[in-house]
Structure 1
Amino acid sequence: MEYIVEKIGMSRTITVPSQAVTLLRVLDAKVCEVNEGIAIVSYNSGKKMNKTIEGQQKKYSLSSEFNRFVTLEVANTEAGDLDLTPLADAEVLKTTFTTKGRGFAGVMKRWNFGGGPASHGHRMGRRTGSIGNAEWPGRVMKGKKMPGHYGNIKNSVKNEIVSFDAENNIIAVSGSVSGANGSLGRVKVAK
């Protein structure tokens, strides 16, 4: 079963020893159609609605608060509110979020290179250094660690569920989850 969640932030448990947890809020969603366990689900992304989505709203007669559509694997057998009962029994979740985008980054930030000496007139600084071979193969090898775009990619990780608050739809999972606070992602019941 899959759900759309918002990352609230990180906290820790009050047990001894303390454990780091990430808090995820399951978004209110409506199941519009169900075909063999795969459903069209509408949820509120907080963004403005466009004409295409307005047409979908009329088709499924939804209120204007639900402004995005996505296909998910759900427990529901018919249209209506999203069924959250599988989360109460779940032990492990597979969380998928987009990592924080850091733009164009150098090798020290992107690949944790050491850089050159900082003193005695060196021009090396934060540069890459030598990248190629002189004679053979006479080219830069594929996959060479160089400056470039860093972050803003999908990342999945498995986390154990520490607790699930059914009243507020908040899941506390052990460890960290990619992405900034307030970002939207998916969780799937893995176990």
Structure 2
Amino acid sequence: MEYIVEKIGMSRTISVPSTPVTLLKLVETKVCEVGENNRAIVAYAKGKAKNKAIAGQQKKYNLSAEYNKFATLTVANSEAGDLDVSPLSSAVVIKVSFDSKGRGYQGVVKRHGFGGGPRSHGSRFHRRHGSIGNCEWPGRVQPGMKMAGHMGNEKVTVKNEVVSFDSENGILVLKGSVPGHNGAMGRVRIVK
């Protein structure tokens, strides 16, 4: 079963020793249409985006204006309506997928952990990557060469243990950290 969640942030348990936990809030989701293998089209609220395509979907599934995003998930429901969150109460391990924090264009020291050169005067090789090519053959840079470039802002999936689930408020508490910034939208999938 899959669910759309919003990352609230991190905290810790009061037990001794304390455990770092991440708090995720379930986004209110409506199941619009259930297909085979429990794959369903679901609608949820995110921002204020609206266009004619979204308006057409809202009219087709008889949804209110705040449901302006649509996704395909594996659900426990057998028919359209509110999303069934009861499987989360017995979940032990969950896979969490978020976009990691974007860090822009970074050099090789930060991006790949290169050591760099001496920091003394006259070195001229401090945080650079050094040579990247070979000799006359193959006469090009090999694919996969570790170089400076865009870092972060890519989908990352991690496994976390479930500490608790508050079904009344829709708060999921997971052991450890998950990728992404506070307020980021992502997905969780029950593993066992």
Taking structure 2 as the reference length, the TM-score comes to: 0.95
1:94-121 deviation line (CA, Å, top 9, x unaligned): 1011111112211011101121222222
Shift of 1:172: 0.5
Rounded Cα–Cα distance in structure 2 between residues aligned with 1:137 and 1:38: 48
Name the structure 2 match of 1:54: 55
Q: Secondary structure at the match of 1:109?
A: helix
Cα shift at 1:137: 4.5
Q: Which deviates more from structure 2 when the two are superposed, residues 140-149 or residues 70-79?
A: 140-149
Shift of 1:126: 1.5
Kept after mapping to 1: 8 A contact 2:3/2:187: yes
Matched position secondary structure for 2:59 = helix
**Matched residue, 1:69:** 70
Mapped contact 2:100–2:155 kept (Cα < 8 A): yes
SS at match of 2:94: strand
* Structure 2 spans left out of the alignment, 5+ residues: none
- The number of residues matched between the two structures is 191
State the distance in 1 between where 2:187 and 2:91 align: 15
- Please list the CA deviations of residues 147-185 of structure 1 after superposition, one character each: whole Å capped at 9, or x if unmatched: 111111111111100010111100010111111110000
Shift of 1:133: 2.6
Gaps of 5+ in 1: none
Look up the equivalent residue of 2:20 and give its one-letter code.
A
Q: RMSD of the alignment, in Å?
A: 1.2
Question: Displacement of 1:134 after TM fit?
Answer: 3.2
2:12 maps to a residue whose letter is R
In 2, the alpha carbon distance for the partners of 1:105 and 1:136 equals: 29
- Measure the CA separation in 1 of the matches of 2:115 and 2:48: 42
Partner of 1:7: 7
- Whole-angstrom CA distance in 2 between matches of 1:141 and 1:59: 51
Distance (Å, rounded) in 1 between the aligned partners of 2:50 and 2:35: 26
Matched residue, 1:31: 31
Structure 1 counterpart of 2:22: 22
Q: Please state how far the C-alpha of 1:77 moved relative to its aligned partner.
A: 0.7
**What SS does structure 1 have at the residue aligned with 2:147?**
coil
Q: Tell me how far 1:141 sits from its aligned partner.
A: 2.4
Deviation at 1:142, TM superposition (A): 2.0
**3-state SS of paired residue (2:129):** coil
- Which residue of structure 1 lines up, in the alignment, with residue 180 of structure 2? 179
Instruction: Give the Å deviation of 1:6.
Output: 0.3
Alignment of 1:145-160 (within 5 A): 145-160=146-161
What whole-Å deviation, never above 9, does each CA across 1:28-67 have from its counterpart, x for those lacking one?
0111111121111000112422221011001111111111
> What is the CA–CA distance in structure 1 between the aligned matches of 2:68 and 2:60, rounded to whole Å?
13
- Give, in whole Å, the separation in 2 of the partners of 1:35 and 1:72: 10
Does the CA-based 8 Å contact 2:48-2:66 persist in structure 1? Answer: no
Superposed, which structure 2 residues align to 1:109-148 within 5 Å? 109-134=110-135, 137-148=138-149
AA matched with 1:104: Y
Aligned equivalents of 1:47 and 1:188: distance in 2? Answer: 26
Aligned residues of 2:43 and 2:70 also touching (Cα < 8 A): yes
Partner SS, residue 49 of structure 1: coil
TM-score, normalised relative to structure 1: 0.95
